[in-house]
Chains A and B, each alone.
Chain A
Amino acid sequence: MIPAIPPIQPLPPAPTGGGASAGSGGFSQSVTNAINQVQQSQNTASTAEAQAAAGQGSVTDALITASEASLETQVTVALVDKGVAAFTDIMNMQF
């Protein structure tokens, strides 16, 4: 006996824009991830500082984690500034 013809599957949505939309989403995703990472290291630094202030843990550890959090913040801010500056340059292009 001939089997029944299966119903036609709906087509997957067509990709739109190609690299441009993927690039813009990627930048915001990268910034979000970086800021989450910075938040995490600042939380670590806060914990270490609280422990050092309470007499547990070492002062050097607290200061080193604070330095790391500070440097990570600077790296993130520098990279975001560069990305936004590139975007602004494109937007200011004259035709």
Chain B
Amino acid sequence: MSGLFGTLDISGSGIGAAQAWLDTISGNIANMDDTGPTDEAAYGAQAPVLVPDASTGQVGDGVTVAAVVEGDTTGTVEYDPTSPEADAQGDVRVPDIQLGAQMVNMIQAQTDYQANTSALADAKTAYQSALTLGT
């Protein structure tokens, strides 16, 4: 990472990646109760693909979100004859998203975010303490 204060940019990329992760988790939880016809694909849990940022080809370039991949769209078939989307057997297709797993992921993403902000704050303190050299 070029620039005088590259560490801040690196931590910023980590914050952005954690934010993207949190966004996908929020989307998964929001779509957890989706229903659809059994002949269509269900909502697949989304997750960001985080890779090292190779824009400058140097070590310590931070992280970037390469893509957002969609998980299994098979879902599960539930019996819900009151749903307007139910088929002749009264079945609907719902996403296979476990709230517990999503919440655990959210804790990880939150910790990820906090770790990056902590690294950023420490880097800023270190830069400021370097300015006091010789005084």
A is bound by B: yes
The secondary structure that dominates the B interface is helix
Interface 9-mer from A4-12, A15-23, A24-32, A68-76: A68-76
Let me know if B37 is at the binding interface, CB within 8 A.
Answer: no
B8 and A78 contact, CB distance less than 8 A: no
In the complex where A68-B8, A71-B5 touch, is A58 in contact with B128 (Cβ < 8 A)? no
B16 and A60 contact, CB distance less than 8 A: yes
Q: How large is the interface on A (under 10, 10 to 19, 20 to 34, 35 or more residues)?
A: 10 to 19
Q: How large is the interface on B (under 10, 10 to 19, 20 to 34, 35 or more residues)?
A: 10 to 19
Let me know if B131 is at the binding interface, CB within 8 A.
Answer: yes
14 A-B residue pairings within 8 Å (CB atoms): A58-B16, A58-B19, A61-B16, A64-B8, A64-B11, A64-B12, A67-B120, A68-B4, A71-B8, A71-B128, A72-B5, A75-B4, A75-B131, A82-B134
A residues within 8 Å of B by Cβ?
58, 60-61, 64, 67-68, 71-72, 74-75, 78, 82
